[in-house]
Structure 1
Amino acid sequence: MELKDNIVGFHHLSIKAQDFDKTIGFYGNLGFIVVHEWSLPEFNLERCAMLFNASIGYYLEICDKNAAIPTQGRRRIEGEEYVENALLHLCFTVEDAEDARIQALAHGAEDLSAGVFELRLSQGKKDVFVRNSLVYSPNGEVIEFLERVDFS
């Protein structure tokens, strides 16, 4: 069996949280609920939680900041500017990108886009028009709110 035939779906994205409870609370305000919590002392992982948003069928894994588990890039130093690494952003499909941005800001996010972007993504004869907004979560990851669009 080839790998492409073995992949059956996308399960989760994992985030290392600077403030575990604040990060859980922020994603709770985006509709995610904690469905399982654990610790793994052998990886210096005191707290980890799997969150699920039933309306979109998407999981997020939140680990505490001291976890010694594989990660992208280096660890962000407290108070430091946001650090770039291979994870660019999380993207959620939304009905209204501006409303999603405003709601995220009300729950502790920092503004990144200062409004909605309206972009034309062109490739040859096909143009795709998108409306999106961007915020930094209280933990520092970039979140994109993308209005429904058909890329096919």
Structure 2
Amino acid sequence: MAVALAAAGFIAAPAAQATLGQRTDSVAADATRLSAIAHASSVHAAYTLHTITLPSGTVVREYAGADGIVFGVAWDGPTLPDLKAALGPAFDRFTHANPSRGAGPLAVSASDLVVYSSGHLRAFSGHAYLPQALPAGVDATAVR
């Protein structure tokens, strides 16, 4: 039941972030539409970090390779971001891998997808990334 309620929360919030494995093109338009704050992007050697603050105060960080494809997403704040929008096609794998989890963290760890989400009311955090899409020289621990 906890997962069903959590999954309902994942899809209830409007999207304000790019989708894992997709281009970052829509981020600015989504931020404007949702009154979210899109912060200046931070360019690192092998990726660009896009940071958005949702109206709830939740901060979403998107990690995109030089090709503009999002290889990782991380979040923390008082509410969950729209994980269905953030994870895209991977969302179904995430929810099916955690069908009857209690109040503990929800996780998937596979060769092509890693997701970890935990928290409680007003204190959520997590991250997701595509291991095969990590740019050369970027360690998975960068996605936090």
Q: Do the structures match in fold with TM over 0.5? A: no
The structure, 1 or 2, with the larger RCO (C-alpha pairs under 8 Å, 6+ apart) is 2
The structure richer in strand per residue is 1
Which structure: greater helix fraction?
2
